[in-house]
Amino acid sequence: MALAASVIAYNLRQSSSWWHDINASLLWQDRIIHGLAILYVLVAFVALVQLVGTQVRVPEYGWTTQKVFQFLNFIVNAVRSAVFIFRRQVQKLHPEILQHVLLDMPSLAFFTTYALLVLFWAEIYYKARAVFTDGLRPSFFTINAAVYLVQISMWLILWWNPIPVVVLLSKLFFAGVSLFAALGFLVYGGRLFLMLQRFPVESKARRKKLHEVGYVTTICFTCFLVRCVMMGLCAFDKAADLDVLNHPVLNLIYYLLVEISPSSLVLFILRKLPPKIGITQYQPIRALKV
């Protein structure tokens, strides 16, 4: 027993040493930062290609929900990539509030991007049940405006007087926003999934749509829930601080789980381009009987 305990303790020390060595290495910091930047560039490129393809297919419809979703994905990933490429320069910016803005703004835009997907699903769900949806879009804009207003207020307070409690509240606010987004996907993605199950599924297209909603709901709910938990830990535990230069390994895992992988998977699942006008006619979804 004593020998086994000694071996376990030795392995834990070795593991801790390995983690610390990578975190303290300037070479590994740069490798991880540039690796994240490259991954974000690839996701941004995919979103841009999909946006161009959608615009070529249906230019007549203007800025549809699909186009806005693809455009916001491109912006979020492109900005995040630029921040990581110039991460060391960002770390030296003064006043310090500029660092918070550059690091937090892509997270806010990420929330808006996927909240748009929740809005789209909510509209489909309520229209299929013959319920008026006139209040959904104003609610979407109101919620987003409130989120941005609160966060901007915190930035201004930090600029005026950078007190630790406001930094703590800012992280907790992000955790709350992420939890709200996760619940939005669970409620409306789940409702739409259950509604689609009630339609005949002999059609291959309908089965595919059912799978799309199920996969995207699961992915987005999980990613926002992980973001919520991590932001909560980050607020109270310095060892979980999401600072790329001090904790590059943790950040690699974090951003892969909450932004890069979810965005890549969702863009892949929703990659189908709309048909050209005149080639395929859609049949409207009839209201379900309660």
DSSP code string of 185-248: IIIIIHHHHHHHHTS---SHHHHHHHHHHHHHHHHHHHHHHHHHHHHHHHHH-GGG---TTT-H
Confidence of residue 200 (pLDDT cuts 50, 70, 90): low
| pLDDT above 80: residue 40 | yes
Distance CA 181, CA 101 (A): 21
Task: Tell me which range, 7-11, 126-130, 148-152, is most confidently predicted by mean pLDDT.
Answer: 148-152
Rg (CA), the chain: 22
Using CA atoms in the order 221, 224, 227, 231, what is the torsion angle rounded to 10 degrees?
-120
Q: Among 18-27, 98-107, 189-198, 207-216, where is mean pLDDT lowest?
A: 18-27
What mean pLDDT is predicted for residues 35-59? 92
Range of the domain at 102: 94-269
Distance CA 290, CA 281 (A): 27
Q: Would residue 251 count as lying in a domain?
A: yes
Confidence of residue 285 (pLDDT cuts 50, 70, 90): very low
Q: Would residue 248 count as lying in a domain?
A: yes
pLDDT for 148-196, tens place per residue? 999 999 999 888 887 888 888 888 999 999 999 999 999 999 998 888 8
Place of tokens 């040493």: 17
Confidence of residue 240 (pLDDT cuts 50, 70, 90): low
Confidence of residue 239 (pLDDT cuts 50, 70, 90): low
Confidence of residue 225 (pLDDT cuts 50, 70, 90): very high
The reported pLDDT for the residue numbered 243 is 63
The reported pLDDT for the residue numbered 170 is 87
Domain total in the chain: 1
Query: What DSSP designation does 59 have?
Result: G
**Environment class of 282 (CB within 10 Å of its CB; exposed 0-12, middle 13-18, buried 19+):** exposed
| pLDDT above 50: residue 111 | yes
Q: Would residue 168 count as lying in a domain?
A: yes
What mean pLDDT is predicted for residues 217-227? 94
The reported pLDDT for the residue numbered 236 is 81
Closest CA to 118 of 177, 47, 172, 44: 177
The reported pLDDT for the residue numbered 119 is 93
Q: Would residue 140 count as lying in a domain?
A: yes
- CA distances to 157, 242, 289 from 152, rounded to whole Å, are 9, 20, 45
Q: Would residue 132 count as lying in a domain?
A: yes
Distance CA 17, CA 23 (A): 10
Percent of the chain clearing pLDDT 90 (strictly above):
41
95: left (phi over 0), alpha (psi -120 to 50) or beta: beta
What mean pLDDT is predicted for residues 52-71? 86
Q: Among 4-13, 215-224, 251-260, where is mean pLDDT lowest?
A: 4-13
The reported pLDDT for the residue numbered 18 is 65
The values of phi and psi at residue 221, to 5°, are -60, -45
Distance CA 142, CA 111 (A): 14
**Environment class of 29 (CB within 10 Å of its CB; exposed 0-12, middle 13-18, buried 19+):** buried
| Amino acid residing at 34 | H
| 64 half-sphere exposure, CB direction, 13 A CA radius | 14
Q: Would residue 53 count as lying in a domain?
A: no
Closest CA to 108 of 196, 170, 19: 170
| pLDDT above 70: residue 9 | no
Q: Would residue 279 count as lying in a domain?
A: no
Q: Would residue 223 count as lying in a domain?
A: yes
